Chain A
Amino acid sequence: MPARDRDLEERAAVSRTLAAGVGLSAALLLAALAGSALGWDTRAWTRAGVMVMVATPYLRVLQLAALFARRREWRFVVLAIAVFALMGAGAALGLRG
């Protein structure tokens, strides 16, 4: 596959991941907002929407690692793994207080 086509395909894949995360999160949050207007307890839906939104960048970093590995661009694979490890370290530090 020509480099330009492969580049376009990879950008489209990352774009789809981000759009899917945003779309799913927005649907959950919208449903929660509509439900709360009807007097329902929708805190679990809101929490699920927030969790999906926050998880999306984590997924995007992992996806970049996979895309660069397929291209054998190892320095970017290492960078993506380093970013993911740092994000995980931050979460672990925070949860430990």
Chain B
Amino acid sequence: MIQAAGILLTGAAAGAFGTLLGLGGGVFVVPVLVLAFRVPMHAAVGASLVAIVATSSAGASKNVALGLANMRLGLSLETMTVLGALCGGLLAPHLGARLLIALFAALLLAVSAMLWRSGPAQAEEGGSPLSGPGLLGGTYQDPASGKDVSYSVERLPAVLAASYGAGVVSALLGVGGGLVKVPALRLLSKVPMKAATATSNFMIGVTAATSAVLYLGRGDVPMPVVGPVVLGVLLGARAGLALSRALSDRATARIFAFVTLAMAAQMVRRALAG
């Protein structure tokens, strides 16, 4: 019972960060389950994938109602993330773990640096884009400032390519892929940070559910672990949502940059250790 309580708290922390940053939370859940609770790696990834679906669905149910999650943009990008997840799943057995970890660390470092240095997105510069939101853009009321924010989506082909990469990364490393999608939406498409994290969160459930079915089929979702993880994630997601309403776009971007930097350091250590 004490272990279940510990796993529940781990899920709560992952859910809060996951919802705040548009991540699935898998990057927090997997290492803690493996290192602190001695759950086998595959079982930890299986439980994490179900937790990612929970984070996504819980966060998205609120973000969709608020208009923060852009359903048209999310659906368009999901075609590529799911395709990437399928390709990644087929590619995974042919790549060495050390190479994957090193590549992931390099990606995280680059993303962290770009986010830290990035200027305000178009919506923070005050007002709607001159051309209007277009087919995939959106409008929402910023919960922190109370202002209406309108945005368009720039460089769609580049974001589609990044989404494909996010799907591949998700399948290879057992994470939601938000680490790739959020920076791509923010930096390439100039989508405001809150809409980027909410839309990423909306999409993550689809990718994770696709992979979770595979783990369930193989019996790699440990039932005594998955219950406390999912319940914890659901509790944490509520806290993450409240935090995301209170924080500015710049503060969210800075937190995201710090988290990616910390994880990059961890990945470099693992790659060097073999």
Q: CB within 8 Å of B: which residues of A? A: 11-12, 14-16, 18-19, 21-22, 25-26, 29-30, 32-33, 36-37, 43, 46-47, 49-51, 53-58, 60-61, 64, 76, 79-80, 82-83, 86-87, 89-91, 93-95
Taking the complex as formed, is B78 at the interface, i.e. its CB lies under 8 A from any CB of chain A? yes
Q: How far is the CA of A8 from the CA of B224 in the complex (A)?
A: 39
Instruction: State A33–B4 Cα separation when bound (angstroms).
Output: 9
Residue of A with least CB distance to B81: A83
By secondary structure, the A interface counts as helix
For residue B54, CB closer than 8 A to chain A, the reply is yes
* B184 cross-chain contacts in A, Cβ below 8 A: none
Q: Mark B31-65, 1 if CB is under 8 A from A, else 0.
A: 00000000000000000001001101110111011
State whether the Cβ of B206 lies closer than 8 Å to any Cβ in chain A. Answer: yes
Select A86's contact among B75, B79, B217, beta carbons within 8 Å: B79
Within 8 A of A (CB), among B206-240: 206, 208-214, 216-218, 221, 223-224, 226-228, 230-231, 234
Known: A25-B230, A57-B57, A60-B205. A90 touches B67 (CB 8 A): no
For residue B86, CB closer than 8 A to chain A, the reply is yes
**A46 vs B50: C-alpha distance in the bound complex, in angstroms?**
12
Chain B residues with Cβ below 8 Å from A56 are 53, 57, 205, 209
A18 to B75, CA, bound (A): 15
A-B contact count (CB 8 A): 138
Closest CB in chain A relative to B24 CB, distance in Å: 12
- Please tell me if the beta carbons of B83 and A79 are within 8 angstroms of each other in the complex: no
Q: Is the CB of B79 within 8 A of A37?
A: no
Other than the known A83-B206, A90-B89, A94-B89, what 9 A-B pairs have Cβ atoms closer than 8 Å? A11-B71, A29-B231, A54-B50, A54-B213, A57-B209, A87-B206, A90-B85, A94-B217, A95-B213
Q: How far is the CB of B266 from chain A (nearest CB, A)?
A: 28
By CB atoms of chain A within 10 A, which of B58, B72, B221, B227 has the most?
A: B227
Please tell me if the beta carbons of A22 and B62 are within 8 angstroms of each other in the complex. no
Q: Given A15-B62, A54-B209, answer yes or no on A83-B86 (Cβ-Cβ < 8 Å).
A: no
Interfacial chain B residues near A19, Cβ < 8 Å: 61
Contact B71–A87 (Cβ < 8 Å)? no
Contact between A18 and B57 (Cβ–Cβ < 8 Å)?
Answer: yes
Taken together as a complex, chains A and B put the C-alpha atoms of A32 and B228 apart, in Å, by 10
Interface size for B (C-beta < 8 A) is: 47
Residues of chain B within 8 A (CB-CB) of A15 are 60-62, 64-65
Q: Indicate which residue in A22, A79, A90 contacts B210 across the interface (CB closer than 8 Å).
A: A90
B82 near A: Cβ within 8 Å? yes
> What are the residues of chain A within 8 A of B82 when measuring CB–CB?
83, 86-87, 90
Partner of B234, one of A14, A26, A60: A26
Are the CB atoms of B50 and A53 closer together than 8 Å? yes
Query: In the complex, what's the smallest C-beta–C-beta distance from B254 to chain A, in angstroms?
Result: 29
Known pairs A12-B65, A26-B231; A76 contacts B223 (CB<8 A): no
Q: With A53-B53, A86-B82 in contact, do A43 and B76 touch (Cβ < 8 Å)? A: no
